[in-house]
Structure 1
Amino acid sequence: MKAGDDAAVTRGLSTAMDVVPLEQISIEKQFQISSQVMTVDDSQGAGCRKSRTDDHEHSGELNHSQVNFFGKELTYWMLMVASCIAMAVGLSSASLLGRFYFVNGGSRRWVYTWIESAGWPVLLPPLGISYYIKKNFCLRMALKQAFTPRLCLIYAAMGCLTALDNLLYSMGLSYLPVSTNSLVCSSQLAFNAVFAYIIVGQKLSPYVINSIVVISAGTVILGVSTENDRPAGTSHREYVVGVLVTIFASAIYALMLPLLQLIYTKGFSKEKSSFIIVLEVQIAISSVAATFSLLGMAVHGDFHAIREEALFFHSGVASYILTLVFSAIGWQAYFLGASGIIFLSSSLMSCVFMTAMIPILPILAVIFFHDNFSALKGIAMLLSIWGFLSYIYDGYISYKAERKAILDHTT
């Protein structure tokens, strides 16, 4: 592509959204501009290709305004909706299947820890398709940019942190009903506000502080209301341990979200920064977490115990296999959706959307597992919803203030 063409592309896309980068917008333009793809010489490396368009096509097509909704392009909203759906469906299905595993005779926590990160191969086909349709793509350069020594160290650290978080969560899920577990997990919103303030400079307004207080109060209520909420066969001590490890898991997960945001914003150049890196980072972190979990399985002898556990699973061997397989897919969809929202918006927005699902999971748990829904649990849910709405209102106030500042600046 000529230098003059590059300048025309840059000028035409100057009003594009801040978060979704140039590469994504170029993908959308492939459906609007007829292009011709040619393979470069061997000296430029195998797997590289370059696109070529006519000058009049650039000057005519790219100078038109993009279709915008609330200041963002259609591509942005398509990715945001897809991420939200993946997060909602993945979290609901994986949480229910995880509890189903433990209720029906599953007891290997390291096995389920591995399951929570073992689904990363399902991301390889969409990553390959994204590589294929991307303009000016070079596989060798893409891998070189995505797996620098510094990023590999970051992936390793995040993978180990993910494995620890998964282990704590699986312990909590084995002791607590799904409804209680989901409500305790809402504490991650309070943790995330603090970590986001420290790591990425997220502001703590009075509405944010209010949500931290009320969500924390709801978690405390769940921690002390053990008599009518314990599953059959779960002791008082195990219930308390379940609440505590779930709180720790929520804190670790809340820490990981702003760290992911930092990776997306600081770990990649603006030229490289596209939604593809969400897939690359997720695959790298999940593969490390899965490997770490396999080591834990080996130490605890789970490889020999899996066969016996499957044979004595209450719903049968086929149900055992399907439960683990679809749990792995569900967790991967959830993590990908959460990461996508972080990339497109912020870690706080990702955590807020997860908290918005709090009313859904307890209802599903009552339907599928007949969980007891006590009055104290209802109060905890109302407090969590109150905290969520407080966050939403804070975002609305911030949006109005930013919009007013822009209008004042333009006038």
Structure 2
Amino acid sequence: MLLLKEEDEGRGRTSVPTQLMKLKRTQWWILVFISIFFLISAQAIGVLLGRFYYNEGGNSKWISTLVQTCGFPILYLPLCLLPSSKSSSSFSSSSSSSFKTLFSFEKILKSEIFAIVLVMQIYTSLVASCVAVIGLFASGEWLLLSEEMEEFQEGQVIYVLTLVGTAVSCQLGSVGSVALIFLVSSLFSNFIGTLSLIVTPLAAIAVFHDRLTEVKIVAMLIAFTGFAFYIYQNYLDDLKVQRAREAQAE
């Protein structure tokens, strides 16, 4: 359904990294579906936890901003499990020596190692977290955190778990999004992201007993229709490429 290197070359676009071409089609699909699951589920969970935070008494804007990026240390675990390579070491050394590598984007996505997805997410989250921490202290909201935790309706433990869960889900969603860009394309990643417009309202109905309003129904239908058209167009393009190969083989 989704087109790989041959079609991209035919259209003059950037080809898929060569390491991906070494994957079997089944392995490639498994990676794609895992990334889709992380993106959709993590976005929905992050939104629900953010709403739960405010519903139960949380009101710090800087904390809600910080938890969206501060979970990046968990990415070091899968990063350490991945095999090292010269490309990853050279990128890490160049990143630590020059700010030019932050401009961390088209060249990085063309890299031949999947570990660079995690590395890029770690660096961008680190910068964003530093900015959020500065804002937290500059605004004086850090002085109110202990009071906010004590007044949280579900208790201090749930307060901490809510922030931790939000931080983890946001990281998984970001990694899923970048991974889809790496595996397929940025357009496909954006289309998968629109599916959260369908999943999140349904999850809110189940968790918070929201009403399914006309506006939500229209938004869900638009998101589903756009995604369906995109998948169908990719199917037609893939079928065209397959027929062209069969004609050349004959």
TM over 0.5: yes
Matched positions, count: 236
1:82 — aligned with what? Answer: 34
Matching residue's letter, 1:307? S
Q: Larger RCO: Structure 1 or Structure 2 (Cα < 8 Å, ≥ 6 residues apart)?
A: 2
2:109 — aligned with what? Answer: 264
| Structure 2 residue matching 1:125: 3-state secondary structure | helix
2:121 — aligned with what? Answer: 282
1:336 — aligned with what? Answer: 175
User: Contact conserved, 1:146 with 1:280, CA < 8 A, in 2?
Assistant: no
Tell me the TM-score normalized by structure 2. Answer: 0.84
The structure-2 alpha-carbon separation of the partners of 1:277 and 1:367, relative to structure 1 and needing over 3 Å to count, comes to: same
Structure 1 residue 24, shift from structure 2 partner: 9.3
Matched, 1:19 2:16: yes
1:319 — aligned with what? Answer: 158
Q: How does 1:20-39 map to 2 (within 5 A)?
A: 20-22=17-19, 25=22
Candidates 149, 162, 167, aligned match of 2:98: 149
1:120 — aligned with what? Answer: 72
Cα distance between partner residues in 2 of 1:22 and 1:296:
41
Candidates 244, 247, 250, aligned match of 1:405: 244
Cα distance between partner residues in 2 of 1:142 and 1:383:
41
Cα distance between partner residues in 1 of 2:157 and 2:68:
19
| Structure 1 residue matching 2:197: 3-state secondary structure | coil
CA-based RMSD of the aligned residues comes to 2.5
Structure 1 residue 101, shift from structure 2 partner: 0.5
Which structure has the greater CA radius of gyration?
1
Matching residue's letter, 1:82? I
Deviations 1:226-260 (A, max 9, x none): xxxxxxxxxxxxxxxxxxxxxxxxxxxxxxxxxx5
User: Contact conserved, 2:79 with 2:118, CA < 8 A, in 1?
Assistant: yes
Structure 1 residue 262, shift from structure 2 partner: 5.8
- Segments of 4+ moved more than 6 angstroms: none
Candidates 376, 396, 401, aligned match of 2:215: 376
Cα distance between partner residues in 2 of 1:151 and 1:23:
27
Q: How does 1:152-301 map to 2 (within 5 A)?
A: 152-155=101-104, 260=105, 263-265=108-110, 268=111, 273-301=112-140
Cα distance between partner residues in 2 of 1:107 and 1:351:
30
Cα distance between partner residues in 2 of 1:342 and 1:295:
31
Unaligned runs of 5+ in 1: 1-17, 26-65, 156-259
Identity of aligned residues (%): 29
**Structure 1 or 2: more helix by fraction:** 2
Cα distance between partner residues in 2 of 1:377 and 1:75:
36
1:390 — aligned with what? Answer: 229
User: Contact conserved, 1:341 with 1:350, CA < 8 A, in 2?
Assistant: yes
1:362 — aligned with what? Answer: 201
Matched, 1:98 2:47: no
Tell me the TM-score normalized by structure 1. Answer: 0.53
